[in-house]
Chain A
Amino acid sequence: MYGRLPIAKMLAATVVMTAAISAVMLSINWDGQEASTAAPKIDDLLNVMIVLSSLVFSLVIVALFYALWKFKAKPGDESDGEPIHGNTKLEIAWTVIPTIIVLFGAGYSWSVLSDIEKLDKNPLTVDVFSQQYAWSFGYPGKGNAYVQGEMHVPLNRQIQFKMHAQDVIHSFWVPEWRIKKDNVPGITTTAIVTPDKLGTYQLICTELCGFGHASMRAKVVVETPANFQKWVSGLEEKVPAPLAESINQDTETNPTPINAGGA
């Protein structure tokens, strides 16, 4: 027996600290505006993780600072501590409990992932072309209409982006949609988004692609299906031959569609 620890008080302190940190952290809108059906699901996952992380962090802080306060050596005390080498039960606990927590996180993430990547019956396909340092877009369902630097998509319809890079790797990110995917030379990569808020957003390149990387942006407009139809039929350009060829030459990343088996 080496004296008792005030376990109940320490746990109480941990709970209070967890609650306080979580309250502050959850009141902050970390990821910014949510503008796709995937966004709230990802943000919910993040919020659950914030609470779990606050718990782990509080546990570490309370345990650490209690020890520093309680077991700090008095000045001039040159004696040693108690020769405790371990505690098998405690060691098993702090191996098993974190395992359960992370496996829960993995399961939850997996279910969110399957959910946000579920393919609708009738998605609108948009071809995304990236090259140093510009974006352009093709609408294969709309007579291969083509536009540079500005993309319009209809509200509340699932969009399947098919991405093609012409030179180096670029990455497609619209923060409000929470969706990102690399555009890789030689293969077609796919991302699925259902925008659910009207507005104008920014498409940001997030994979270093050269000196123009920071300014490689495009405008994204989410509008009503009627307005979108009007806009897309007003486009005069068609997808230029070299880009159309790159679509044909690219190989599919996943020979079967994403989530074959329909998870």
Chain B
Amino acid sequence: MTAAIKHPGWIRGALGAILGAAFGFALVVALRKASGLPAYQTEQTGYPQVVVPLITGPLGFLLGFGCFDYWLRWAAGMPTIPEDHSQHGAKSWKDYFHFNTDHKVIGIQYICTTFFFFFVGGLMAMLIRAELAQPGTQIVDAATYNSLFSTHAVLMIFVFVIPVFAGIANYVLPLMIGAPDMAFPRLNALSFWMLPLAGLLFIGSFLAPGGAFDAGWTGYAPLSTGAPLGQSFFNLGVQFAGASSIATALNFLVTIITMRAPGMTFWRMPLLVWANLSTSLLVVAATPFIAGVQFMVLFDRALHTNFFQFAGGGDVVSYQHIFWFYSHPAVYIMMLPGFGIISEVISTHARKPIFGYRLMALALIGIVVLSYSVWAHHMFVAGMFSWLRVPMMITTLLIAVPTGIKIFSWIGTLYFGKIHTYSTAMLFALAFIVTFTIGGISGVMLGMVPIDIHVSDTYFIVAHIHFVLFGGSVFTIFAGIYHWFPKITGRMYDEKLGRVHFWGTLFGTWVTFIPMHWVGMDGMPRRVADYATQFGNWNLLISCGAFILGAIQLVFLYNMIVSWRFGPKAEGNPWRANSIEWLVSSPPPIYNFPEIPRVVGGPYEYGVPGARHAIMPGESVEAPKAEPTVVGSA
């Protein structure tokens, strides 16, 4: 027992959480007593005796769990435990439940944790659709309904889509650039362990008096500043998810900039690396805005500041400006890594170099720059100054151009290729092109102020976001998971079940989200627990689609778990791909490479006679061919 307390791990972590929470609680009570106030405060927005432990408890857990051990020892002048990498790799499933600085272990931890939250959030979606299958109130009351869709969105955005991309990149990216690990392995582990804490805070808010947060994932003030205690769980959960995101983005930036293998110039980086470079640029600059604005809401709630309380001179609309200054770039944070995945999958399975590689990379950078100048298109009817609408409309429509470039280039990549569709990853990539085009088209329509005035805050918006986030991001996530499954697990998944999952998901997506466009335009607002009877049949159809979509995900879960355990052994390079992660064994050796590989050419030189992307250690070194110049198609 004493050993368990002395060494980092779950027991010390739990102890840390309890002590941390107790410390926070005692601090509040003592300070309140000292100020002559009653020990507890149970005003609906207050509860400092709960809110402060919600900060100190998770921090205590991180301390106890060992996330800070190295730095604390160093700061305290104690001898640091030499990093001998002995804890790299995972020998059994139990090792995934420990603090580990190996990027491959952390990648798997990320992916599994985020998929756990995907299924929890998915269950909430099922409850939402069950309630909406018929007009009237059936299974949940209106307040619970508000909590359900708010939590659904928050889980999917903050602890599924954003971090699952970080997980995939965590595993793949260092291998891809020929690096032995991420630049800051300890920071990487800390970033991961903040994530489940954020998820637990979001889900835990259901236990708060007054129920889970119910102001939508957007948490608009002053609805959020006056909401019950659950809202504070959201405010704090976002801090943990945000800190995790920012630290990971910094880690990716430094890794990509400083740790590329010799010879890997920027123009030889695979597009997944470009995509994560662009995403990280967005995260480091934009995420502090949502962290800040949620602190401001928390201060309004708990400390009675007046950032957004109009009665105290606050400015209600400024919440939306700060919120969307993060949350619009966040849309691209949830999309750009997916663009990277699609480029890898399509090029590999079409056996063709990416069409217009440099323009593809520049388009990513173009999206990064433009995405900072479009936030107010979420606010065309919000009552902001009206002059801002037209400039924001123009930038919003212009962002369709670099996005279009990517779509056209993927299609261009297919031409004169040898397209293989046996892999479920490729099926998802191809379907992504179609569904994302529809999401993009409805996005252009929404960008036009007069159309937006009509459809803003209706089901048209719900249709649009699900087409870009489910038909877009989640399809790319599935493509990525299937594509790198053999690499990560060392085993092949079942393609037959993969196909069932693919066709079911495609069918479910269309049946669920296509009709939503129509009911929205025809007059059904979003975020309602009940609706006019005229929309009854459409909603029943939508709910049926949603249940199919939900049920088919169980096939995916089964396929992943069973194949991971019993699937046939995978070769190092089952897709005959070029990038470096495929040139090592599956799963890769514990330290990735005995010696750093040398990069001698572009990443997508399919069909170029004698072209190589990288030369692995131990290979006979031929004189690298001159990099082929851009060849016209005609």
Task: Give the contacts of B581-634 with A (CB-CB under 8 A).
Answer: 605-608, 611, 628, 630-634
Tell me if A68 is interfacial: C-beta within 8 Å of chain B.
yes
**B608's closest neighbor in chain A, by CB?**
A83
Docked-complex contact B522 and A84, CB < 8 angstroms: no
**B219's closest neighbor in chain A, by CB?**
A208
Residue numbers in A under 8 Å from B356 (CB-CB): 85-87, 91
Residue numbers in B under 8 Å from A30 (CB-CB): 518, 521-522
Task: Give the contacts of A76-119 with B (CB-CB under 8 A).
Answer: 77-88, 90-91, 94-95, 98-99, 102-103, 105-106, 109-110, 112-113, 116-117
A182–B223 CA distance with the chains assembled, in angstroms: 14
Which of A123-131, A148-156, A183-191, A232-240 touches B? A183-191
B604, chain A: closest CB distance, angstroms: 8
Docked-complex contact A98 and B220, CB < 8 angstroms: no
Docked-complex contact B381 and A171, CB < 8 angstroms: yes
Tell me if A222 is interfacial: C-beta within 8 Å of chain B.
no
Docked-complex contact A169 and B222, CB < 8 angstroms: yes
Given known A67-B411, A175-B522, contact A206–B419 (CB-CB < 8 A) = no
Other-chain residue from B216, B222, B416, B454 in contact with A208 (beta carbon distance below 8 A): B216
Other-chain residue from B352, B386, B407, B454 in contact with A84 (beta carbon distance below 8 A): B352
Task: Give the contacts of A32-91 with B (CB-CB under 8 A).
Answer: 32, 38, 41-42, 45-46, 49, 53, 56-57, 60-61, 63-64, 67-68, 71-73, 77-88, 90-91
A71, chain B: closest CB distance, angstroms: 5
Docked-complex contact B394 and A186, CB < 8 angstroms: no
Tell me if B204 is interfacial: C-beta within 8 Å of chain A.
no
Tell me if B85 is interfacial: C-beta within 8 Å of chain A.
no
Docked-complex contact B630 and A42, CB < 8 angstroms: no
Which of A1-9, A11-19, A135-143, A223-231 touches B? A1-9
Residue numbers in B under 8 Å from A68 (CB-CB): 414, 419, 421, 430
Please encode chain B, from 296 to 314, with 1 for each CB lying within 8 Å of some chain A CB and 0 for all others: 0000000000000011001
Other-chain residue from B350, B389, B411, B454 in contact with A60 (beta carbon distance below 8 A): B411
A74, chain B: closest CB distance, angstroms: 8
A259–B119 CA distance with the chains assembled, in angstroms: 49
A259–B389 CA distance with the chains assembled, in angstroms: 12
Docked-complex contact B357 and A214, CB < 8 angstroms: no
Residue numbers in A under 8 Å from B411 (CB-CB): 60, 63-64, 67
Docked-complex contact B141 and A187, CB < 8 angstroms: no
A144–B187 CA distance with the chains assembled, in angstroms: 64
**B220's closest neighbor in chain A, by CB?**
A169
Tell me if B285 is interfacial: C-beta within 8 Å of chain A.
no
B625, chain A: closest CB distance, angstroms: 12
Docked-complex contact A98 and B401, CB < 8 angstroms: yes
For the side of the interface on A, what is the size category? 35 or more
Residue numbers in A under 8 Å from B257 (CB-CB): none
Residue numbers in A under 8 Å from B222 (CB-CB): 167-169, 185
Tell me if B548 is interfacial: C-beta within 8 Å of chain A.
no
A262–B632 CA distance with the chains assembled, in angstroms: 52
Docked-complex contact A206 and B576, CB < 8 angstroms: no
Residue numbers in B under 8 Å from A200 (CB-CB): none
Other-chain residue from B223, B390, B433 in contact with A169 (beta carbon distance below 8 A): B223
Tell me if A197 is interfacial: C-beta within 8 Å of chain B.
no
Other-chain residue from B381, B387, B417, B531 in contact with A180 (beta carbon distance below 8 A): B381
Given known A95-B405, A206-B458, contact A84–B381 (CB-CB < 8 A) = no
Task: Give the contacts of B389-416 with A (CB-CB under 8 A).
Answer: 389-390, 393-394, 397-398, 400-401, 404-405, 407-409, 411-412, 414-416
Tell me if B527 is interfacial: C-beta within 8 Å of chain A.
yes
Docked-complex contact B437 and A42, CB < 8 angstroms: no
Tell me if B38 is interfacial: C-beta within 8 Å of chain A.
no
Docked-complex contact B316 and A31, CB < 8 angstroms: no
Residue numbers in A under 8 Å from B417 (CB-CB): 67, 71, 81-82
A211–B606 CA distance with the chains assembled, in angstroms: 57
Docked-complex contact B634 and A171, CB < 8 angstroms: no
Docked-complex contact A207 and B457, CB < 8 angstroms: yes
A30–B406 CA distance with the chains assembled, in angstroms: 30
Docked-complex contact A85 and B146, CB < 8 angstroms: no
Which of B1-9, B73-81, B242-250, B440-448 touches A? B440-448
Tell me if A215 is interfacial: C-beta within 8 Å of chain B.
yes
Docked-complex contact A84 and B416, CB < 8 angstroms: yes
Given known A73-B418, A210-B223, contact A175–B448 (CB-CB < 8 A) = no
Given contacts A73-B419, A186-B316, A212-B142, 12 further A-B contacts (CB under 8 A): A60-B411, A61-B434, A72-B421, A80-B606, A82-B417, A85-B353, A87-B355, A169-B223, A180-B456, A185-B311, A213-B142, A214-B531
Q: Considering the complex of A and B, which 10 residue pairs feature the smallest CB-CB distances, nearest first?
A: A186-B310, A81-B417, A80-B607, A214-B528, A189-B383, A67-B414, A175-B523, A102-B397, A206-B457, A83-B607
